[in-house]
Structure 1
């Protein structure tokens, strides 16, 4: 080590270097831990997506295996599961769900309660149609539901909430329309018990178009995953910043000590400042014979008239 850097062996600089030496691995460890949390969340999301895909591709199961009774809740493992139910459509209480988009087009869902043998009804979204729900109601152009006993196959869906996309919570919809698909919103509109979950028909009759199953709540990467990724970058930046600042402080200290050894004061690379040169005043004989600086009369001489 050169003589200029011997100050690194002083107690103060040994403490600074030790602190930096400890801070770097701590920052790297924390960044690696945050990265592992992000990877864990990504793997969990990938696994959940694969499980849901398997559920959606599985053969239909009876509704009773998913919702034993109208008061039962849809379980996470049953989201988007294909179920089958047998009953008859209650066309007298058919509802339209406005403001729903499909393929970037605005339209509405056609929801018809399916009365089961026990008396309760399963909400069935028979399909989607483009245009205005109010106009379709006025013209009476909504395709009627099949009459008689039918067996419906569809994907089980969670009840919608006020945070679900495209829902209407204004409370100003006209009669015959529904803003949120859930048992809580239907219980006051239908004169019989309603299942809490609902299904979207897999094979609707033309011109209705099938409504794709909604993504189950919590199945997508949430904000916490991206927070972990952001914290990962921050910790690694902190580690690099510690190393950068240590080298910068060492260099400044070395330069300051080198300048001091050359007699250069801080802020003055040319050495000590003796001030500007001033001409010396001429010496004149004093009253006792000794030479003394001539007095300078600041008053300008005036020309005699």
Structure 2
């Protein structure tokens, strides 16, 4: 009698645990599918903005909401502020390590300054601080690009405040800190310069993606775990006993 009661309790506990595990993993799988659908909608919106007519000037960009201006093509005119050029370290292009070169552009007609991610240069493996020459034309220039947020960040072992302000080479760049240090009337967005290689810079930027595929991958894993738990439960509780 006691053995029968114990077996029933054990069966009930195993069934409850298996049911909870199946429900939890299935819910996580559907949640990942929902995230994938959201990312697909975001990617479609990004692609649509990239196909729209280019904006001309910072005033046209500022007139848009922050969510509507990202990834829009744009033309800007101004003068480079070469003395404030920054080199972001440990950036890759074509699998090679190097630097992203960022230079503020003082708009003409103004007012205001926009930080432009101008392109990429390779690293000197013999001397890390030796930078490849980059041409910065004087006078009025006109560039093509796309609107972006702040420069992408890498993991930083030291806080940004600890970086020497006089060094043009740094791991990351905070727009607010850069604005305070330089005194420039910097816009809260940046522009990624596009076009053919020039001025010693490459511009084969990585394509902007929403990361939808990873959510499908996670969903597959959760549904796979859900199915495995259900299969093991049926095998041990029914098939093997029979």
TM-score in same-fold range (> 0.5): yes
- For residues 140-173 of structure 1, what are the alpha-carbon distances to aligned partners after superposition, in whole Å with 9 as ceiling and x for unaligned? x321x22222222212221146xx2376856257
Asked whether the 8 Å contact 1:128–1:210 carries over to 2, the reply is yes
1:93 aligns with 84
**CA–CA distance in structure 1, aligned partners of residues 15 and 229 of structure 2:** 13
In the superposition, the TM-score normalised over structure 1's length comes to 0.59
RMSD over aligned Cα, in angstroms? 4.0
- Equivalent positions of 1:113-132 (< 5 A) are 113-116=104-107, 117-132=109-124
DSSP 3-state at the match of 2:50: helix
| Structure richer in strand, relative to its length | 2
Across the two proteins, how many residue pairs are aligned to each other? 230
Q: Which of 176, 179, 184 pairs up with 1:192? A: 184
What's 1:150 paired with?
141
State the distance in 2 between where 1:93 and 1:18 align. Answer: 69
**Quick one: distance in 1 between partners of 2:167 and 2:21?**
61
Q: CA separation of 1:236/1:136 partners in 2, compared to 1, >3 Å: closer, same or farther?
A: closer
1:36 to 30, 37, 54: 30
Gaps of 5+ in 1: 1-9, 252-305
In structure 2, list runs of 5 or more residues that go unmatched: none
Mark the CA change 1:101 to 1:29 in structure 2 (over 3 Å): closer, same or farther. Answer: closer
Structure-2-length-normalised TM-score: 0.72
Correspondence for 1:241: 232
Which region of structure 1 is more displaced relative to structure 2, 225-234 or 151-160? 225-234
The structure number with the bigger radius of gyration is 1
Deviation at 1:222, TM superposition (A): 9.0
Does 1:207 pair with 2:196?
no
Aligned pairs for 1:6-17 (under 5 A) are: none
The answer to which structure has the higher helix fraction is 2
- Native 8 Å contact 1:154 1:201 kept in 2: yes
